[in-house]
């Protein structure tokens, strides 16, 4: 009886509410569309230079400097990758393959030593009690405020004394001593936010300090370490002033210097070639970023706690 009533009543009450639901849904859809339109528009505006860069690699010098529209006038030119080929081959005796290899010879060791040194230093700051710890930490933070340019001259003189000029050592070695204080700070903060329970459980399980670091702390630090690796990769890849100061042999040039050099070689610059190779130079950083994105965003949320 009661269920009969419910069935007969339900349509009556739902017809007007259905219309209302539809109205609300339409409003929501319009508002959503508007929001995306604005976001998309602004996003496009921000990304336009990148699109333009991509288009310009298919344009002639004359067209590059005369049009703001990103597509070449003659769309068939989009199939012509000669600028990429010419740019890659360069006008020197080396192709960009050499320069990319050089870049990786700097970037990869630097990322590795950064990860090792930062982890060790951060672990000590975040987990051990020893005299002078707070003082040392504040000195480290203090160096973060120092403009990097201040260190250039003394560092240059030091590496000159050590006979390391025109090698990659001056670009890699400092990172082995955790001088990238921002990264150390990042890892210290991450570690401070991680509960110690797991480490204590591992101590009871029989870990010594180094086993603890390797088996427990490093896996816990994974998101932070991935962020460090990513930043160091991109920043080192894009670093221009460091190699400019220390590297003088063309054979040892990384990509950033080689790009600059291709602009200087002759008066008659084929801009499409340079633009094409700049786009190629972006690829490693972009690839690394998208590969690491998941962990990068995951950030500080991973831990063994669930209540």
Partner 1 sequence: MASVNLEKIVKTYPNGFEAVHGVDLEVRDGEFMVFVGPSGCSKSTILRMIAGLESISGGELKIGDTVVNNLRAKERGIAMVFQNYALYPHMKVYDNMAFGLKLAGLPKQEIHERVTQAAKMLEMEHLLDRLPRQLSGGQAQRVAVGRCIVKRPEVFLFDEPLSNLDAKLRASMRVRLTELHRELRDRGQPSTAIYVTHDQVEAMTMGERICVLKDGTIQQVDTPTTLYDRPVNAFVAGFIGSPEMNIRPATLVARDGGLGVEIGDTMLPLPAAFSDALRNRIGQKVQFGIRPEHIGTPRSILASGSQERAAIANCLFRLREHMGNEVYTHFELGGHDFAARIPTDFAGDIDAAERGQTIQLGFVMDKVHIFDADTGLNLTLGASQLM
In angstroms, rounded to a whole number, what is the distance separating the alpha carbons of residues 170 and 275?
29
- Is the Cβ of residue 178 or residue 216 nearer to partner 1 in the bound state? 216
Cβ proximity to partner 1: between 211 and 278 the closer is 211
Among positions 222-281, residues that touch partner 1 (CB under 8 A) are 222
Among 187, 207, 228, 288, binds partner 1 (CB under 8 A): 207
Nearer to partner 1, 49 or 195 (CB): 195
Pair 207, 218: CB distance under 8 Å: no
Nearer to partner 1, 24 or 303 (CB): 303
Which positions from 285 through 304 interact with partner 1, judged by CB under 8 A? Answer: 302-304
CB of 131 to partner 1, least distance (A): 11
Closer residue to partner 1, CB minimum distance, 216 or 257: 216
And the tokens for 257?
């210097």
| 70, 275 contact by CB (below 8 A) | no
In the complex with partner 1, the residue whose CB is nearer, 251 or 298, is 298
74 near partner 1, rule: CB under 8 A: no
Nearer to partner 1, 15 or 305 (CB): 305
Q: How far is the CB of 104 from partner 1 (least distance, A)?
A: 29
Interatomic CA distance for residues 175 and 228, integer angstroms = 12
68 within 8 A of 221, measured Cβ to Cβ? no
Is residue 305 a contact residue for partner 1 (CB under 8 A)? yes
Position 209 contacts partner 1 (CB under 8 A): no
- Tokens 């991935």: give the residue: 226
What are the helix and strand counts (H, E) for the chain?
14, 0
> Of the candidates 53, 151, 202, 250, which one interacts with partner 1 according to CB under 8 A?
202
Stretch that binds partner 1, among 10-18, 26-34, 209-217, 250-258 (CB under 8 A): 209-217
Comparison of 212 and 259: residue with beta carbon closer to partner 1: 212
Residues 6+ apart with CB under 8 A from 93: none
With CA atoms as reference, report the closest residue to 166 among 238, 253, 265, 93.
Answer: 253
Dist. CA 240–CA 277, nearest whole Å: 16
Give the Cα separation of 191 and 224 in Å (integer). 9
Residues 170-199 touching partner 1, rule: CB under 8 A, are 195, 197-198
CA angle 264, 270, 271 (to 5 degrees): 85
Length of the chain: 307
**Contact residue for partner 1 among 28, 166, 205, 251 (CB under 8 A):** 205
Query: Within 87-126, which residues bind partner 1 (CB under 8 A)?
Result: none
Query: Residues 6 or more apart from 239 whose CB is under 8 A from it?
Result: 171, 254, 256
Contacting partner 1 (CB under 8 A), which of 60, 67, 211, 278? 211
Cβ 197 to partner 1 shortest distance, Å: 4
Cα-Cα-Cα-Cα dihedral sign, residues 136, 173, 278, 149: positive
Q: Is residue 200 at the binding interface for partner 1, with CB under 8 A as the rule?
A: yes
Interacting residue ranges for partner 1, rule: CB under 8 A: 195, 197-198, 200-207, 211, 215-216, 219-220, 222, 302-307
């Amino acid at each position: 009886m009661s269920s009969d009533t419910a069935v007969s009543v339900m349509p009556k009450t739902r017809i007007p509410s259905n219309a209302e639901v539809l109205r609300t849904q339409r409003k929501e859809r319009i508002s959503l569309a508007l929001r995306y339109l604005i976001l998309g528009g602004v996003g496009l505006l921000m990304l336009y230079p990148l699109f333009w860069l991509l288009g310009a690699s298919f344009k002639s010098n004359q067209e590059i400097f005369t049009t703001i529209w990103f597509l070449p006038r003659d769309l068939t030119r989009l199939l012509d990758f000669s600028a990429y080929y010419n740019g890659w081959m360069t006008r020197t005796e080396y192709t960009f393959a050499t320069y990319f290899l050089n870049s990786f010879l700097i970037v990869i060791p630097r990322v590795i030593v950064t990860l090792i040194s930062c982890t060790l230093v951060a672990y000590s700051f975040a987990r051990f009690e020893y005299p002078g710890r707070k003082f040392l930490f504040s000195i480290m933070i203090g160096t973060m405020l120092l403009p990097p340019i201040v260190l250039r001259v003394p560092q240059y003189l030091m590496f000159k004394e050590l006979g390391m000029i025109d090698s990659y050592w001056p670009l890699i070695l400092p990172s082995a001593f955790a001088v990238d204080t921002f990264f150390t700070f990042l890892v210290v903060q991450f570690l401070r936010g991680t509960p110690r329970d797991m480490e204590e459980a591992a101590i009871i399980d029989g870990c010594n300090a180094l086993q603890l670091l390797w088996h427990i702390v490093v896996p816990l630090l994974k998101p932070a370490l991935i962020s460090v690796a990513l930043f160091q990769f991109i920043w080192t890849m894009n670093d221009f002033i460091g190699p400019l100061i220390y590297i003088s042999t063309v054979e040892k040039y990384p990509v950033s210097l080689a790009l600059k050099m291709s602009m200087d070689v002759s008066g008659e610059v084929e801009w499409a070639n340079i633009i094409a190779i700049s786009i190629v130079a972006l690829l490693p950083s972009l690839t690394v970023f998208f590969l690491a994105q998941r962990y990068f965003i995951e950030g500080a949320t991973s831990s063994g706690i669930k209540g």
